[in-house]
Amino acid sequence: MSDEKSVLLNRHLPGELAACLRAGGVDPEGAWLSADTDLNLQGGYEQVFLLALEDRILTAAMPGGEWTSPVRILLRRQDIREVRTRQGVGGGFLEALADGVYVEVLAYSNARADVFHKVARKLQDWLTGQPVRTGPEDDVNPRKCAKCGMALEFKGDVCRRCVDRGAVMARVLRLMRPYTGSAVFLMVLVLAAIGLALVPQWLVKLLIDRVLAPEQAGNAALQPGQATWWLLALVGGLTGVRVLESVVGVIKYRLAALVGSQVSFDMRQRVFNHLTRLAVDYYDRYNVGQLMSRVVTDTEQMRGFVNQLCFGLLAQLFQVVVVGFLLFALSWKLALLALLPAPLVVLAAMFFWRYIYPRYYRVWDANSKLSGTLNTILSGIRVVKAFGQEKREHKRFDGSSGYVRDSFRDVEYTVGTFNPSIGFLFQIGGLIIWFVGGQWVLRDKMGLEAPGQAPFTLGLLMQLLGYLGLFYGPLGHLTQLTNWLTQFLTATQRTFEILDTPPQIVEAPDPVRFRPKGGIVFDNVKFGYHRYEPVVKGISFHVAPGEHIGVVGKSGSGKTTLINLLARFYDVDEGLILIDGVDIRQMGLTDLRAAVGIVLQEPFLFRGTIFSNLTYGRRDATAEQVLAAAKAANAHDFIMRHPLGYDTYIGERGAGLSGGERQRISIARALLYDPRILVFDEATSNVDTESEQLIQEAMVRVTAGRTTIVIAHRLSTLKNSDRIVVIDEGRLVEQGSHEDLMARDGLYAKLVRIQTELSREPSVDALAGGKTREAAE
Amino acid sequence: MTNAPNTPEAHGDPQAPSPDQTQLRYLLPDVCRVHLGSHGALHVTVRDERIYGGVYAAYAFPVAHPDKYVSLIYSAGSGPDVEIGVIRDLDEFPPEQARLVREALGRRYFVHVITAIRHVGWKYGFVAIDVDTNKGPASFLIRWQHDRAVDYGRKGKVLIDVDQNRYLIPDLDQLPSSQKAQFQRYIYW
């Protein structure tokens, strides 16, 4: 084994502190673990070290203030019973159970939480006499970027700091590769459209200098007939250019729509496909709304990119460059003068995007809050009326509505002031050209032009004014370029983040293929959804093939987590789960999921027919198989009461069916899947007594010959179990038959007694049937 | 520092009476004493009941009633934590005892109170914020999401950075208008 040390758990003490400790009889070199925290126990920032020696742990920091010794806390190993972390608000504590009291050994901010979570585990192993070592493997923190150390949102997340933005753009362009031909053609069209936009100004110049005011330009006056032909030709030319512009525009729009929507479609498909491969863990981190936004909105950015390229900022950037070049080519002096206000326009636009545009966020927020308030009030209108709180809700609504009014007014006032001001700035360039260019035209008209200099004609003046409009128009928008680019890259990066998120549940490269018999072993399984809170704390038990196991425990004791781990919705943090002696992480995911059928407390049905829901896991099921499964699950009879039987269309989440009916469909669905292991997770919790009875009958039939795990609050559901496992606070505390556990008079017996008391209260539905609940059972 | 009483600690004794968890109990100075016990841990002695060791304090209404309705809780081994009772008003207690409770609260609530906002901008797709706090200047990144800047009372905000550290602005209206505007440009909700 390597002798390399951990950076985080074998920290070097500053020389001065080490010397102080040595002077006090503590040899820091003898510590097998040394970690530093950023807080002291008074809640202030201070570097405090935790040292674990053979026979004690201590915390140390430089003496000062009320501290005359470097040692802050010292606990002997023999006095400590347990070491744990406790979460505070914004930080946490490492605590030791000494002399029957949890002593706060040190405090840490959340930035150091992972380190001390690890430290607590090491110290706990040290206390229980298990071999402990620290090494480089302890420095690996999947929740921190390995490169820069920044906190990641979840294991395997992409570090936003380290993401290469240039690479993002390169990746976007790579995504466009299948459309290279179309993209090149699009760019040609974009350039052609810009070119065509410049032609009318040139034709106008010809019109003025050749036809309308030829003398001013030094041209010979045209005969009336000739002038008419020139006029016709130039107006015809203008018409032709406009028609051509329209044709190019139509082709450009259609092609952009084709390419943009296809690229977005590809992206959406990739993202969605990848999302379905990600583990349940990922969905705990992000709410469904966020993910929907990524799939629906962020992927649309690809279409936005193509649009910007053709009609938006990127096209405008080309236009500014081309027109700017032309302005200088026609008259560099006048161009320089005309562009004098350009920096002001740019500054004003930057001001707008930085200070005024964000006010629109408040309008969106106000509208969203107003919708939320309205939704809450209207959805809960019965409660509002029942408690006579109409006036209070009027006030609440007025508050939200007033926020919309005020935020909207604020934006409108600001924009109303800003727009006319910026409009004036835009016109300054034109005014300069009119004044200076006008003088030059007059000078030339009076024959005062410098010798050898080309005459400055009225046509040229009009051409320059036309180009100036084409220049200043997009200039204000171009200041958004970085803004748009940031938004685009961020949204695209968010999309790439999904694509780059490695599925946490990965199939073994060479999975073990076999048809399971259904033997299950949980071997010292430890797991937590959040880094600070272990939910399952070392559970071990086995289930023989075909055995029926009941799992009971209080809410939050970790029962459902065990099932989540068995189905590999999550992977264990420590320990093993075996099916027929094979680690489930070595099984093919499809094989594992085929082996484990789960009936959940809240059965989820999809919008569609009852038949399509029943065959969700097995599309090849025949009508006969579906009928048999539904019959076994006590679902057939109620299905047949619907006029369209199995072809009855049910709404979102099974709308139109009662809770018990939905549950029986989900049992039939699981049965049709034909798993070797069947799990019922509180399957009868949310149904009435009659439904419970029907479900229990179904459970007896469908579980025959299968390994069955039944998690239940209602102990009556467990009556067919061969063995009952009792979980409490993430630990297995009892197991045995009902009789064994009752005789033991432990937690199970207590739960049974509580439930017996409760069941003496006759339930309404039982009374309606003229019998007590006990009788019903 | 208050010394531990001479009475034997009863927290390990299963026979010792425990607080009735079905009713809220207010702790008053005449029935309870807050002091430090073994290993400097916070202890609470309730008259005619027992000594509770390894106690921590938590606010019931940290926003609406700071310094009032402070719950004193102790960890009872592997089981769930048990509330000993609630102090209605810390000022009802002798200053030394109130200080111990306030220190315990200070340890539990590790929150930076923002006193000035220096700069708010974008960095790596996060909102980057430079501030002065009661613990000194700080720079941190938060995700631009509603749940990373949550309401604190009617006018305040709690910001939660990428490391889950908390930064509190007790009242936005108390900030200079330029700082408030800068802040609300990004945290507009």
Q: How many CA atoms lie within 13 A of B169 on its CB side?
A: 25
What is the domain extent for residue A541? 520-776
Residues B127 and B101 reside in one and the same domain: no
Residues B181 and B140 reside in one and the same domain: yes
**What stretches of A29-105 show up as alpha helix (H) in DSSP?**
none
pLDDT at A289 over 80: no
Question: Measured between alpha carbons, how far is A60 from A6 in angstroms, rounded to an integer?
Answer: 19
pLDDT at A501 over 70: yes
For chains A and B, what is the number of CB pairs under 8 angstroms? Answer: 113
CB contact under 8 A, A90 and B143: no
**In chain B, what residues touch A110 (CB-CB under 8 Å)?**
163-165
Q: Is the Cβ of B126 closer than 8 Å to some Cβ of chain A?
A: yes
Q: What is the pLDDT of residue A777?
A: 33
Residues of chain B with pLDDT under 50: 1-12, 14
Instruction: List the single best residue of A46, A71, A89, A355 to mutate versus B (max B Cβ within 10 A).
Output: A89
Residues B57 and B125 reside in one and the same domain: no
* Mean pLDDT, residues A71-79: 91
CB contact under 8 A, B39 and A43: no
Chain-centre distance for alpha carbon A215: 70
Structure tokens that stand for A387 in this block: 């408690």
C-alpha distance from B54 to closest chain A C-alpha (Å): 5
Q: What is the CATH number for A666?
A: 3.40.50.300
Structure tokens that stand for B110 in this block: 């590790």
Instruction: Report pLDDT digits (tens) over A47-71.
Output: 999 999 988 999 999 888 778 889 9
Instruction: Report pLDDT digits (tens) over A187-217.
Output: 888 888 888 888 888 888 888 888 888 877 7
Of residues A345 and A630, the one with the higher pLDDT is A630
Q: What is the pLDDT of residue B4?
A: 39
Q: Is the Cβ of B188 closer than 8 Å to some Cβ of chain A?
A: yes
When divided into structural domains, chain A yields a total of 4
Of residues A432 and A222, the one with the higher pLDDT is A432
Dihedral of CA atoms A617, A621, A627, A630 in degrees, nearest 10, equals -10
Does residue A192 lie in a domain region?
Answer: yes
Residues B115 and B103 reside in one and the same domain: no
Residues A492 and A584 reside in one and the same domain: no
Instruction: Report pLDDT digits (tens) over A710-730.
Output: 888 777 777 778 899 998 888
Does residue B7 lie in a domain region?
Answer: no
Residues B85 and B115 reside in one and the same domain: no
When divided into structural domains, chain B yields a total of 2
**Domain boundary, last residue among B80, B108, B136:** B108
Residues A62 and A168 reside in one and the same domain: no
When CB atoms are compared, the residue of A101, A150, A355 closest to B37 is: A101
Q: How many CA atoms lie within 13 A of A233 on its CB side?
A: 10
**In chain B, what residues touch A113 (CB-CB under 8 Å)?**
164
Q: How many CA atoms lie within 13 A of A230 on its CB side?
A: 19
List for chain B the helix, strand, coil content (%; round to 5). 20, 40, 40
Does residue B10 lie in a domain region?
Answer: no
DSSP string for B106-148: HHHB-EEEEEEEEEEEEETTEEEEEEEETTEEEEEEE-SSGGG
**Domain boundary, last residue among A76, A106, A139:** A139
**Domain boundary, last residue among A139, A171, A194:** A139
C-alpha distance from B111 to closest chain A C-alpha (Å): 6
Judged by average pLDDT, the poorest of A572-581, A689-698, B162-171 is A689-698
For strands A91-98 and A80-87, give the pairing.
antiparallel
Instruction: Report pLDDT digits (tens) over A10-20.
Output: 888 888 999 99
CB contact under 8 A, B12 and A97: no
Residues A710 and A565 reside in one and the same domain: yes
Does residue A462 lie in a domain region?
Answer: no
Q: What is the CATH number for A106?
A: 2.30.29.30
* Mean pLDDT, residues A489-511: 76
Instruction: Report pLDDT digits (tens) over A439-482.
Output: 888 877 666 555 556 677 888 888 888 888 888 777 766 666 66
**In chain A, what residues touch B38 (CB-CB under 8 Å)?**
98-99, 101, 103
When CB atoms are compared, the residue of A86, A104, A109 closest to B41 is: A104
Does residue B2 lie in a domain region?
Answer: no
**In chain B, what residues touch A90 (CB-CB under 8 Å)?**
109-111, 164-166
CB contact under 8 A, A362 and B9: no
Q: Which long-range contacts (C-beta less than 8 Å, at least 24 apart) are formed by A553-557?
A: A553/A726, A553/A727, A553/A728, A553/A747, A554/A728, A554/A751, A555/A713, A557/A727, A557/A728, A557/A729, A557/A730
Closest by Cα among A474, A432, A485, A439 to A458: A439
**In chain A, what residues touch B108 (CB-CB under 8 Å)?**
88-89
Of residues A109 and A362, the one with the higher pLDDT is A109
Residues B147 and B180 reside in one and the same domain: yes
Q: What is the CATH number for A345?
A: 1.20.1560.10
Question: Measured between alpha carbons, how far is A511 from B68 in angstroms, rounded to an integer?
Answer: 59
Question: Measured between alpha carbons, how far is A438 from A448 in angstroms, rounded to an integer?
Answer: 14
**In chain A, what residues touch B184 (CB-CB under 8 Å)?**
358, 362
What is the domain extent for residue B73? 26-108
CB contact under 8 A, B41 and A160: no
pLDDT, mean over chain B: 83
Q: What is the pLDDT of residue A260?
A: 84
Residues B56 and B82 reside in one and the same domain: yes
Does residue A702 lie in a domain region?
Answer: yes
**Domain boundary, last residue among B67, B86, B108:** B108
Q: What is the pLDDT of residue A209?
A: 85
Residues A415 and A555 reside in one and the same domain: no
Q: Cβ contacts of residue B168 below 8 Å, gap of 6+?
A: B111, B112, B113, B114, B152, B156, B157, B158, B159
Instruction: Report pLDDT digits (tens) over A368-407.
Output: 788 888 888 888 888 888 878 888 899 989 988 998 899 8
CB contact under 8 A, A101 and B107: no
C-alpha distance from B155 to closest chain A C-alpha (Å): 14
High-pLDDT (> 70) share of chain A, %: 89
Residues A747 and A771 reside in one and the same domain: yes
Instruction: List the single best residue of A38, A101, A293, A493 to mutate versus B (max B Cβ within 10 A).
Output: A101
C-alpha distance from A719 to closest chain B C-alpha (Å): 28
- The DSSP H or E segment spanning A170 is helix A165-175
Question: Measured between alpha carbons, how far is A425 from A431 in angstroms, rounded to an integer?
Answer: 10
Length of chain B (residues): 189
Instruction: Report pLDDT digits (tens) over A582-604.
Output: 999 999 888 888 888 888 877 78
CB contact under 8 A, A89 and B125: no
Does residue B17 lie in a domain region?
Answer: no
Q: What is the pLDDT of residue B33?
A: 94
Q: Is the Cβ of B103 closer than 8 Å to some Cβ of chain A?
A: yes
Residues B138 and B124 reside in one and the same domain: yes
Confidence of residue A758 (pLDDT cuts 50, 70, 90): low
Q: What is the pLDDT of residue A24?
A: 85
**In chain B, what residues touch A104 (CB-CB under 8 Å)?**
41, 107
